[in-house]
Amino acid sequence: METTLCAACRKAVLPVVESRTEAYPVRGETIEVEAQVAVCPECGEDMSVEELDRVTLHRAFAEYRRRHDLCSPETIREIREKYGLSQRAFSLILGWGEITVHRYEAGSIQDAAHDAQLRMAADPRNMALLLAANGSRLTPRQRAQLENALSGGREEATAAHDEYERLFGDRGSADEYSGYRFFDFAKFSEMVVYFAGLPRMFRTKLNKLLFYADFLSFKYSTVSMSGARYLAFERGPVPQHYDWIAEALEERGDIRTLEWTDGHKSGDVFQSTRAADTSVFTEFELRILEFVGSRFARMTSKELVDLSHAEKAYSETAPKRMISYHWAGELSVSLEG
């Protein structure tokens, strides 16, 4: 620290640095951070030292991001660099203004919608969709660069397609009915294993929990969790190919079916035989699974059926037809409450 003129006592002093908790307003929220503050040793007044103030503000922003589960500037840069894109090209492919990514990487806080788009763009399959939609905004050289970076991602998408075809006899696609994701069998399996680890997981109940997990994921991140498609059946939304998948999981020994009886009532209950492999989920997806698990754990199948029947996603879809994820925004359930 250099000798600085104190604005209060007008003496040239060597500031003393103190640590203390300070409250900073960030986007209308009060964030408390451990701040390094310069103090005048002569009169005891605070002195403004730009570099220290910057560090404190950076900490306050970081804490705000952590609270709201927003990507850090470092993560944003990593996503961009994965595709070999400049800040400008990355902004354009996302459909934003030219300097938006530059601002975020420099520390400005992105809003929730932009954050969701950034997370989506981290998946090469989604980036391929963005390239198709916004590719004309790039120069030919930038486009070639991105296509080259995506060829690895395309192989992954092709592999997912092949797996889907092997399982279900068609190629599958990423559209509004799959929540803009190719069906991810491994991830869907872990969702089933996760929920089947909860007590008394009846088939109907399990189907509703899967529906809420996928649709809540879409509601907050504009992409589903598993890419599963849901059909509007009599007892609420049911994942497509559901029986086939449950059978495959049972055959593999990941879950087992038990008969449950209580007086005159009886039914099949799923039980997982191992813990779910949570490494296939993002932190945000895990939060959704935990939320869905705890929120609905004590509800009966009947209550869940009624709840799902009241969702527009269900009531606005013709019987036995596929449900569009575009209804996710209207879900009666939200992560906050």
Task: List contacts with Zn ion (CB under 5 A).
Answer: 6, 8-9, 40, 42-43
Supply φ then ψ for residue 273, to 5 degrees: -100, 0
Distances (CA, A) of 175 to 147, 240, 249, 283: 21, 15, 26, 24
d(CA 100, CA 73): 12
d(CA 11, CA 321): 78
Angle between helices 203-221 and 283-296 (to 10 degrees): 140
Residue 262: Cβ within 10 Å count: 8
Nearer to Zn ion, 6 or 193 (CB): 6
Q: Report the nearest approach of Zn ion to the CB of residue 46 (Å).
A: 10
Nearer to Zn ion, 14 or 144 (CB): 14
Nearer to Zn ion, 8 or 16 (CB): 8
The two structure tokens encoding residue 199: 């007590």
Nearer to Zn ion, 40 or 249 (CB): 40
Tell me if 38 sits within 8 A of 46, measured CB to CB: yes
Q: Report the nearest approach of Zn ion to the CB of residue 71 (Å).
A: 41
Name 252's Cβ contacts closer than 8 Å, sequence gap at least 6.
none
Q: Report the nearest approach of Zn ion to the CB of residue 11 (Å).
A: 6
Nearer to Zn ion, 46 or 277 (CB): 46
Q: Report the nearest approach of Zn ion to the CB of residue 331 (Å).
A: 57
Q: Report the nearest approach of Zn ion to the CB of residue 7 (Å).
A: 8
